[in-house]
Amino acid sequence: MTTTETCPVHLDEGLHRAGDDREFFRELLQMFAEEASSQVERLGKAVESGDLQQVVRIAHCLKGAASNLAAGPVSEAALELETAARDRGGDEIAPLARRLEEQLEVLYAFIREFE
């Protein structure tokens, strides 16, 4: 495991949220992975077509789901994207979306390893 800053999930907190049931937490993480990959696909299209409302919606959902699992970095990246798409728009969106996808990749790797 890497340092705390880059750890994709705050494990103690995440487990606690799942009633300290490791098996259940694994189920939730896998649910998230499935859910997130379909969202990311839609996010890509929304960013491409400049549909900011849709970007806000998707980022908002990912932020909520990730924070339920104590997946801090994904949640924060999603929040940044949501805020930018809502308040500012423009050039920041594509890089922030990419940043969110990168964080998600790190989280997927964590989920694949998690037992």
Partner 1 sequence: MRVLIADDDPISRRMLEAALRRMGHGVVVTSDGQQAWESLQNSAVRLVIADWMMPKLDGLELVRKIRLLEKHNYIYTVLLTSRSEKQDIIQGLAAGADDYVTKPFDLDELLVRVRAGERIVRLEEELAARNEQLRRLTLIDELTQIGNRRAFDGTLARMVEHCRRYDHCFGLLMIDIDHFKAYNDSFGHTSGDETLRSVAQLIVGNIRTADLAYRYGGEEFACILPETDEAGSIRVAERLRAGIEGTGIQHPGNPPSGVVTVSSGVACFSPESAGSANDIVRLADEALYRAKDAGRNRVVIYGREVSTAVQG
Residues that bind partner 1 (CB under 8 A): 16-19, 21, 24, 27-28, 31-32, 35, 60-61, 64-65, 67-69
Work out how close the CB of 24 gets to partner 1 at its nearest, in angstroms, rounded to a whole number.
6
Q: Which is nearer to partner 1, 33 or 98 (CB)?
A: 33
Q: Which is nearer to partner 1, 16 or 88 (CB)?
A: 16
Q: Is 49 exposed, middle or buried (0-12, 13-18, 19+ CB in 10 A)?
A: exposed
Work out how close the CB of 20 gets to partner 1 at its nearest, in angstroms, rounded to a whole number.
10
CB 49 within 8 A of CB 42: no
Q: Is 46 exposed, middle or buried (0-12, 13-18, 19+ CB in 10 A)?
A: buried
Work out how close the CB of 37 gets to partner 1 at its nearest, in angstroms, rounded to a whole number.
13
Q: Which is nearer to partner 1, 27 or 102 (CB)?
A: 27
Helix axis angle, 93-113 to 22-49, nearest 10°? 160
Q: Which is nearer to partner 1, 15 or 98 (CB)?
A: 15
> Shortest CA distance to 75 belongs to which of 65, 63, 87, 85?
63
